[in-house]
Each structure stands twice: as C-alpha cells, then as structure tokens.
Amino acid sequence: MSKTENGFNWWSLIVGIIYIILGILAFNNPLGSASFVIYLFAFAVAFKGITQIIIRNRLKEYTGMMNNWLIVIGIIDIIIGVFLFFNVTAGVIALPIVFAIWFIIDSVIALVSARAIRNYSKRNFWLIVILSIISIIIGIMLIFNPIASILTIAYLVGIYFTLNGLSYVIEAF
C-alpha cells in the first residue's frame, strides 16, 4: 500500500470506507431481494480480488515480502465475483457455502499477511489477528448451518464488509 510521507494510506482508507458503506447497505436492507445481495456481493468480491492483487504488489514493494497467496485469493475472488454476477440463481443457491469457504480462506490469508504488519505496528497487528479469528469462527459457523445463513445472508454480508472495512481503515493509519 502506498503511504504518504506522514505514513497515511489513502487507498486503504478509500477501500475501507467503501466496505463499511457496503456493510451498512446490507444491514439496512435485510428483506431486500436476493438478487440485490448477490449483485452487491459479486461486485464487492471482484473489487476485493483486484485490491488483493494491488496489496500484494505494494507489500512486495515496501516490505520485500512476496505473499503469493494474495494473488491466488485475488484471482479466486475475481472469478467468484464474475460468476455470481452472471449467475444470480446459482449464486442464491451456492452463496451460503461459497461465502463461508471464502470467509475462512480470506481470514486465514489475512492472518498470514498480518506478520508483515507486526514489525511496524503491534496494535494494528493484534487487531487484524483478532478480527481474522472472529471471521474464521463465523465462517465455520456458516458451513455447519447453511439454512440459517440463507435466512441471514444480508446480515452476514454486512458483518463481513464492516469488519474488513474497519481493517482497511485501521491499516490506513
């Protein structure tokens, strides 16, 4: 991520704000159509995939760490986003399981990537670790109860985007 001279990262702040807005929209419209949630999710997943690839390149540039998992997860996110955008019905059926697996994989990647932050900010490192562990627990809960996740998908999407948005905003500072 590119930081200005004072250490502020505008890109992380912008991505964080977008994710928080997406989370708020999901919370405000839980009874909305399933297709809206699928389109919202498809857009956000594809956007997140692009940002993961950018983050990987910036991480390599500034820390020298080559985290190839960020490229893998970025490409997977883009593919899932495009698939869901063009297959809304399949998305409604598959979303609970896909979302749970994506939740877990993305959170594990965040845990692995957090070690690069550890040397620069212990506070941010521990916050990212805690948020990632919470996300892994939620992902596991979703896998074991897909019917409940279908009924509460808007809230789950809202929680996910809000947590990730907070992580990005924290990373900006």
- pLDDT score at 98: 74
- pLDDT score at 7: 67
The number of C-alpha atoms within 13 Å of 8 and in the hemisphere containing its C-beta is 4
- pTM, two decimals, is 0.47
**Section 138-167 average pLDDT:** 79
Rg (CA), the chain: 16
Confidence of residue 34 (pLDDT cuts 50, 70, 90): low
The residue ranking higher by pLDDT, 35 or 159, is 159
Structural tokens at position 161: 């985007």
Confidence of residue 151 (pLDDT cuts 50, 70, 90): low
pLDDT digits (tens, 9 = 90+) for 69-122: 778 888 999 998 998 888 887 777 777 787 788 778 888 888 888 887 777 777
* pLDDT over threshold 60, residue 32: no
Torsion of CA 22, 24, 27, 28, to 10 degrees: -110
The CA distance from 72 to 108, in Å, is 13
Query: Over pLDDT 70: what percentage of the chain?
Result: 87
The CA distance from 50 to 71, in Å, is 9
- pLDDT score at 25: 79
- pLDDT score at 123: 79
**Section 149-172 average pLDDT:** 79
Q: How far is CA 115 from CA 22, 49, 120, 170, in A?
A: 27, 20, 10, 15
- pLDDT score at 75: 92
